[in-house]
Structure 1
């Protein structure tokens, strides 16, 4: 049944619901942002000319390169160990499962800085490390003080710390895969190794990637603690300069800007990796980067495309 006026009502243009509170809050935030930007530009104490002068200095770039190298090496080795720990934790062997649990519990309980200091001072506990058959023959012996430099101590300490967290990320991703997938693969006669590599692990990646990306970005920033044991990373390179010229704030801004650049690049890369593994799941994985970014800017509101499609 139709009534008078139904045609005009159906043909009317849909108007989004008014949100005065959203516009007021957006205006307040924009004013605050404008004040902060104005302060950054007009305050001479930031000394942006000094920041520009030291931003591409060779010593700063060398520290940046070491930071990137340390982050990459720690993440790769940490995840290799973490995958092994995750498989051990899910194993039916009680010894393997217990060892993995104790490892994760221990290294997640100790702060990374304490671990670095421990490895850096390892020579006080074990002056010499030997390689050979226990109680039978020693092939070689090396002084721990000569072996564990600041860089190696930082690499080992951060790797073992990342391994503990990455194992839990991988374990959570593996548990997110339905057990029926494994049972179906076994019914087809596939081996355990092939089932893990070709079926379970690829399906676990959409759950692993977001947390792994956050862990990677956190690792970039966490490398700054290695400056405590005099490793020439980005922050320590900056500290060496401002200890001589006392331009502390401008040089800290140099390090800050570089960290922002690195984390921004990694965040964009994380988006595309997530979209690659999310394809076919009916999520935003198939949408473009700017489309997702634009739809998540709540200041400008969102168009009700579904209602517009009906109209």
Structure 2
């Protein structure tokens, strides 16, 4: 790459980083370390291809400043886990908002595909959900308790089993994402088609509202964070396909770390979803207003944490606010 092209590609990042150092913006040690790695990677590249240039001298200067800043901020006290979930992760996640949007759109599309397929092929639901589940649900409908499946298992056993399974699906989405992101999208497609056909099955029986008010008590958080895990897989795959100025191995390591952080962010939400499914969803007698309140509150929590909080922290950082 010619030096002019290299500078043009990265200059905005360098100037922005220099302004953070100059204006003494608030940063966590991990954030500064990540930025420092980016600068030193660019410096290494410049030293290799433009050893005596002004670009190399400039990058060397700001890398020294960054090094000093890191060792000062590493002394900051505080609970690292709390800081990770409340500030470090949301701030990092802002840069992956487009991968999140893609994961959401793919999931929505295949949910519609699942519903359409169920509507046009009467055997499709059995193919996706299995004969045993369909027959059991039809029996529950005949017994005037269509959501009885959520009442049969012990609350604690259901909570633990569902939480473990959901976390497993989340990590699989991330791991399969290393297959150029296609693996993550495939897992998303499977779950989305299942959801679409499942929801149509109840709609076809005249139970759309009854099923929705029950299923989405836990499903709002569960499905949302599965989409976030698909996003994590896309981030992992993106590092392999688009290394930018890094070597492919360096890019893979960086994207793998970012994707893992995204998956780890979902674990508390999977626990909440498992708790709701194990202990709350089974109470189908609850008033509609309460069910709507839980669903609405769950959606507000997800949107706040994965959409609005990252935007807010990014703006604060850009404006030099703590």
Scaled to the shorter chain, the TM-score interval is 0.3 to 0.5
TM-score, normalised by the number of residues in structure 2? 0.34
- Structure with greater helix share of residues: 2
Q: Which has the greater radius of gyration?
A: 1
